[in-house]
């Protein structure tokens, strides 16, 4: 085992507080952490491993803040249906899910992990059922994850007790694991999670020091419930209940007015924009410019690939930029540098990991990706900045290397912890089993 691993590349994009870019540059990895980052080359000792990455660009791995990994099971199978409406969710998606089981979650999570590793995501936030099965597969993949146990209750007391108890068992199991951790995932407060359930979810999150990963303000359904029942907006009611003291990842945060934006900005509330899923569901863009102006840390996610349909966060950055600019009719509404920050350090901070990941800095965990700048789509290098290239010119297919905790998950586009052929085969087995069950 070499003492240190020295990565040398033509470009190192750090995303540190001064946005340093070194050319040529190096990143030194010792065990699971970054020992040094800088310009030029690092003095290697005989016991060190030096990895020459040539024309590559090194940068922090991307953070996907809204995902439902097993839903790859039905990728492309909800065409023409808006999954952002209760009708689409209940009558289409839940119909598929009623025939799915935990074995399918085990069979499909690895290919989702493989696609994330392949396209440069090193950390993701998930919200789904069968979380214990997802947890096992994510651990095997080597990715970093924050997995929220998804809870849908719909006023049913039996499912309330069952889901709370399963959620607690999962949180208990994931305790102490720093790479793959457990959160609470109420699908949507007030919409399919009752007031009684919400109060118990708050207690659970506090007990396990976990955050909430929810859907919020997707189509104003929370306000439609809260205004007649409590005489105030959902955000105000969440403040009154103490929910907002707990960190919240809130996909999709579309229908929030200015008053609630200012209220939410006082709390650890992180709106997640998943632009492809929103656009494919026929929904408008979230008010990202207003939220960022109020001080909210808006982050990015792909949502489920059932209708988003890709895990490529480079593509998602570009789509987000275009959608924000289009909504505001203002080319300066968001910059490429803002978008790369949202997908790296911003996402890390939203997951409570800002001091551990999200930038290439001494002492942080070694979550690093490399992109091949001699690939098509990059040039010219003399006039563009790297943020523009990363957001609008290239895709995740330029990623050649992915590392988490100092361990290679992909080298020269070859997966190291997963077998793509087996992952693909298992997805076909799971989906064909699901379709056969539905046909019976």
- Contact residues toward Zn ion (CB under 5 A) are 303
Q: How far is the CB of 251 from Zn ion (least distance, A)?
A: 5
Q: How far is the CB of 233 from Zn ion (least distance, A)?
A: 22
Q: How far apart are CA 356 and CA 123, in angstroms?
A: 12
Nearer to Zn ion, 8 or 303 (CB): 303
Q: How far apart are CA 188 and CA 192, in angstroms?
A: 6
Q: How far is the CB of 218 from Zn ion (least distance, A)?
A: 8
Q: How far is the CB of 135 from Zn ion (least distance, A)?
A: 19
Q: How far is the CB of 359 from Zn ion (least distance, A)?
A: 27
Nearer to Zn ion, 11 or 128 (CB): 128
Nearer to Zn ion, 192 or 303 (CB): 303
Q: How far apart are CA 344 and CA 348, in angstroms?
A: 6
When CB distances to Zn ion are compared, the closest residue is: 303
Nearer to Zn ion, 14 or 193 (CB): 193
Q: How far apart are CA 37 and CA 124, in angstroms?
A: 24
Q: How far apart are CA 358 and CA 123, in angstroms?
A: 9
Q: Which residues pair with 9 in a beta bridge?
A: 25
Q: What is the CA angle 92-94-99, rounded to 5?
A: 110
Q: How far is the CB of 123 from Zn ion (least distance, A)?
A: 17
* Strand order across the 407-411 sheet: 21-22, 11-13, 56-60, 368-372, 399-404, 407-411, 414-415
Nearer to Zn ion, 22 or 149 (CB): 149
Nearer to Zn ion, 276 or 402 (CB): 276
Q: How far apart are CA 286 and CA 232, in angstroms?
A: 21
> Of all helices (H) and strands (E), which one includes residue 341?
helix 336-341
Q: How far apart are CA 299 and CA 188, in angstroms?
A: 19
């Amino acid at each position: 085992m070499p003492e240190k691993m020295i990565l040398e590349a033509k470009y190192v994009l750090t995303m540190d507080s001064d946005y340093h870019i070194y050319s040529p540059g190096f990143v030194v990895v010792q065990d699971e952490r970054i020992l040094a980052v800088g310009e030029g080359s690092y003095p290697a000792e005989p016991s060190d491993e030096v990895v020459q990455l040539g024309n590559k660009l090194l940068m922090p791995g991307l953070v996907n803040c809204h995902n439902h990994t097993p839903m790859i099971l039905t990728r492309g199978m909800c065409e023409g249906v808006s999954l952002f409406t209760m009708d689409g969710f209940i009558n289409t998606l839940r119909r598929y899910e009623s025939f799915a089981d935990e074995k399918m979650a085990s069979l499909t999570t690895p290919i989702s992990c493989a696609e994330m590793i392949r396209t440069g995501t090193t950390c993701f936030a998930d919200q789904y059922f069968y979380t214990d099965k997802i947890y096992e597969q994510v651990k095997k993949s080597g990715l970093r994850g924050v997995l929220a146990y998804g809870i849908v209750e719909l006023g049913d007391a039996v499912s309330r007790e069952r889901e709370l108890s399963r959620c607690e068992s999962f949180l208990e199991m994931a305790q102490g694991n720093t790479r793959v951790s457990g959160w609470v995932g109420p699908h949507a407060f007030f919409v399919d999670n009752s007031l009684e359930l919400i109060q118990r979810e708050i207690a659970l999150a506090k007990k396990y020091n976990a955050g909430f990963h929810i859907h919020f303000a997707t189509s104003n359904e929370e306000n439609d419930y809260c205004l007649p029942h409590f005489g105030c907006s959902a955000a105000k009611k969440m403040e009154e209940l103490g929910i907002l003291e707990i960190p919240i990842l809130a996909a999709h945060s579309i229908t929030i007015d200015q008053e609630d934006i200012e209220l939410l900005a006082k709390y650890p509330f992180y709106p997640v924009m998943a632009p492809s899923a929103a656009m494919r569901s026929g929904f408008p863009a979230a008010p990202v410019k207003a939220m960022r102006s109020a001080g909210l840390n808006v982050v990015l996610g792909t949502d489920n690939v059932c209708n988003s349909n890709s895990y490529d966060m480079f593509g998602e950055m570009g789509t987000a930029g275009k959608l924000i600019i289009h909504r505001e009719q203002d080319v300066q509404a968001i910059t490429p540098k803002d978008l790369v920050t949202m997908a790296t350090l911003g996402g890390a901070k939203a997951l409570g990991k800002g001091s551990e990941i999200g930038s290439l800095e001494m002492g942080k965990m070694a979550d690093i990706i490399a992109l091949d700048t001699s690939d098509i789509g990059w040039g010219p290098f003399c006039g563009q900045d790297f943020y523009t290239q990363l957001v609008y010119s290239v895709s995740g297919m330029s990623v050649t290397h992915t590392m988490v905790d100092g361990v290679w998950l992909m080298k020269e586009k070859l997966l190291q912890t997963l077998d793509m052929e087996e992952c693909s085969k298992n997805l076909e087995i799971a989906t064909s089993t699901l379709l056969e069950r539905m046909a019976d």
